[in-house]
Amino acid sequence: MSLLLLYALLLKASVTSFSGVGALPQIRQDLVVTYRVMTDEDLSRAVLFGRSSPGPVGLYIVSVGHAVRGVPGALVGWLALASPAFLAIPMLALLRRWLHLSRVRSALDAVIVASATLLVPSGLLLARDAIAQLASFL
Amino acid sequence: MREAAPLTSARPPLGTLAWLVTRDANKTIGSGMASIELLRRTLERRGWLDDREHGVFNAVARFTPGTNVLAYLAALGWSYHGATGAAVGVVAGSVPGSVIVTILTAAAATVDRWRAVRVALTVATLVAAGLVLANAWSLVRPHVRGPRVGWTLASVALAAALSLAGATPVRVLLALAIWGALTPPRRTP
C-alpha cells in the first residue's frame, strides 16, 4: 500500500470521527477487511499501545500506520491524526466573530455545558474499569 | 486567515507554550481530556487562560472532527500565536506520545506482560478519570455561579437525557446549540 493511499484512508477515518477511538470501525473496514494490510490482532495491539502511551487516545492511528508501512507509515499516521485539528482554527475565528450576539453566546454556553455533561460518563467509565482492574490484581 | 483578537491580552511566549503543552499534554494515560485539565490548571495559574476561554476552546474542539485534544491545542495555540502557535500546540501535544507509540509498536512489546506495568497503567487510568471529571466541573463552574443557574441545570438535564436516549455526542451538542440559541438570556432594562 502506498503512503499516499494510507494517508488518505487514515485521514478519512480521522476526519469522519469526533473522538479518539471513533475512527476505529472505518480503519478496520479499510485496512483489515478491504485492503487486508493488517489483522484484527494488529489493530487491537495498536489500540492497546495508544491507550498505554501518554497523550491523546487517538495516537493508536500512529501505531496502525507503523503496522502497515513501518516508520514512514507511523509518520503518515501522525499526519492523518494531526491534520483535522487545524479545522478548529476557522471554527474558532467564526465563533469569535459572532460571539457578541446573545443567541450565539447562549448556544455556545449550552454546548459547553453539554460537553461537560458528556465528559461525566467517560470519566466514570474510566474509573469503573480501573477500579475493576485494580480489584482483579488483589 | 487573520488571527482573531485573543480573549485575553496576556499570552505565554511561544517557547514557554511549547514546553508547557509538551509537559502537560503528555503527562496522563488513558484520556486526552485529562491532559487538557492539567494544561488548563497551569495556564490559569499563570493568568494566561480563564474558565470562559477554556470553555470556548473546548466547545470548538468538540465540534472539530478528529481528536478533540489536538483541536483544543490548535485553537489554544492559534489564539496566542496564530498559525505558528497552532502548529506548535499540535506538534507538542502529539509528537512525544507518537514516538512512544512507534517504539512500542516497533518493539512489538506487550505492555501488559509485566504485572507491575499493568498496575501502574491502571493507577494512571484512575488518576486520568479523576482529571476528566475535574475538567467537566471546570466547564460547568462559570455557569452555575451566574444568574442562569436554572437554565444551566435544564441544559445538563437535556444533554443527559439525549445521551441516555442513545443520541451520538455530536447530535447532543447540535441539539444543545439549538436549545441555547432559542433561549438567550433576557435583557435587563
- ipTM of predicted assembly, 2 dp: 0.79
pLDDT (0 to 100) of residue A125: 78
Tell me how many helices (H) and strands (E) chain A has.
6, 0
pLDDT (0 to 100) of residue B187: 62
pLDDT (0 to 100) of residue B1: 46
Looking at the complex, does the CB of residue B22 fall below 8 Å from at least one CB of chain A?
Answer: no
Looking at the complex, does the CB of residue B115 fall below 8 Å from at least one CB of chain A?
Answer: yes
pLDDT (0 to 100) of residue A77: 94
For residue A118, give the 3-state DSSP assignment: helix
Task: Give me the DSSP letters along B92-117.
Answer: HHHHHHHHHHHHHHHHT--GGGSHHH
Query: What is the identity of the amino acid at A118?
Result: L
* N-to-C CA span, chain B: 39
For B80-108, what is each residue's pLDDT tens digit?
999 999 999 999 999 998 998 888 887 76
Burial state string for B76-100 with b = 16 or more CB within 10 A and e = fewer than 16: bbbbbbbeebbbbbbbbbbbbbbbb
Is residue B114 scored above 80 in pLDDT?
no
Phi-psi region of B108 (alpha: psi -120 to 50; beta: other; left: phi over 0): left
Q: Which of A56, A112, A120 sits opposite B97 (nearest CB)?
A: A56
For A4-52, what is each residue's pLDDT tens digit?
999 999 998 887 766 666 677 678 888 888 899 988 777 777 777 777 7
Provide the β-strand partners of residue A84: none
pLDDT (0 to 100) of residue A79: 94
For A84-95, what is each residue's pLDDT tens digit?
999 989 988 888
* Interchain CB distance below 8 Å, A85 and B67: yes
Report how far Cα A47 is from the mean position of its chain's Cα atoms.
10
Is residue B64 scored above 70 in pLDDT?
yes
Q: Return the residue matching grid coordinates 454556553.
A: A109
Closest-CA residue to B24 (of B75, B71, B73, B85): B73
Is residue B188 scored above 80 in pLDDT?
no
User: Per-residue pLDDT averaged across B139-165, rounded?
Assistant: 88
* Interchain CB distance below 8 Å, A112 and B143: yes
- Contact indicator for A84, B61 with CB cutoff of 8 Å: no
Question: What span, in angstroms and rounded, lies between the C-alpha atoms of A40 and A24?
Answer: 11
Is residue A69 scored above 50 in pLDDT?
yes
pLDDT (0 to 100) of residue B109: 55
Q: Which of B7, B64, B106 sits opposite A85 (nearest CB)?
A: B64
Phi, psi values for residue B114, rounded to 5°? -105, 135
Question: Please, where are the H alpha helices in B26-148?
Answer: 32-45, 51-63, 68-107, 115-145
Mean pLDDT of chain A: 84
Confidence band, pLDDT 50/70/90 cuts, at residue B4: very low
